[in-house]
Amino acid sequence: MNLELFSLQGKTALVTGCARGIGLGIAQGLAGAGADIIGLDLADLSAAREAVCGQGQRFYSVCCDVANADAIDAVWQQVIACTGRLDILVNNAGMQHRESAYTYPTEILDKVLAVNLRSQYLLAQKAANQFRAQGGGRIINIASLFSTFGGMHVSGYTLSKHGVVGLTRALSNEFAADGIRVNAIAPGYIATELTQSIWQDPEKSRPINERIPAGQWGLPQDLAGAAVFLASPASGYITGAVVPVDGGYSCR
């Protein structure tokens, strides 16, 4: 096989929520394959900059609250101006709130949906228009195990992540004729700062580990291979797919 099919040399990728966790792992993986990275986040992006530049690629920072539709509009031209083009969008920014569905606050639900779902729609829409003018591109949405499972006390998150899969499939149908591939990655239990209270607690993590055939939680860098594949020419005939990266959890 020609491994150049997996190369991202000369490409620019926008990765949202890449200050830490899964977004940082994906940004590092894409940079390792040759892509320059535009990091979009509200948090400090110095770790992402160091990881990307350390591999000889360029890194650009864009500050934006993706919960705010007007803010996305306001920074889009700044995104394009970083390198003059865009080839890959990774919709990773997300948030979580744990609470019983009996009392889940409306204002929290609205924000979870705005960050986890609406921002993916708006950014995909903007990226697709840029891609169409350039002759094609890649959109990778970050879904979740909870795109197929219900979970407990995460009803807002589950709702948003089910929506991400539906959005991925709908956009894949509409954009394919213009050379735009839209796919999703569904991470399982990944050890990040956001999940630290679970994976560091033996009582909470034990039943999860027992269900994962691989026997352990994943790490952010475990998402990099799937992201590089879906961003590269190697996946040129794949669109509308949801790729689980979960150590086999969803097969149990």
3-state secondary structure of 41: strand
DSSP notation for 195-238 = GHHHHT-HHHHHHHHHH-TTSS-B-GGGGHHHHHHHHSGGGTT-
Q: What is the CA radius of gyration of the chain?
A: 17
Q: Which two tokens stand for residue 79?
A: 């995104």
Assess whether 189 carries a catalytic annotation: no
What residue type is assigned to position 124 of the chain? A
10 Å Cβ neighbour count for 191?
Answer: 18
Q: Classify the C-alpha dihedral 154-156-159-162 as positive or negative.
A: negative
Residue 149 has φ and ψ, to the nearest 5°, of: -95, 160
Active-site annotation holder among 60, 157, 189, 249: 157
Q: Strand locations in the chain, DSSP E?
A: 12-16, 36-41, 59-63, 88-91, 137-142, 180-187, 242-245
Distance of alpha carbon 59 from alpha carbon 13, whole angstroms: 10
Contact residues for 193 (Cβ-Cβ < 8 A; gap 6+): 20, 21
Residues designated catalytic: 157
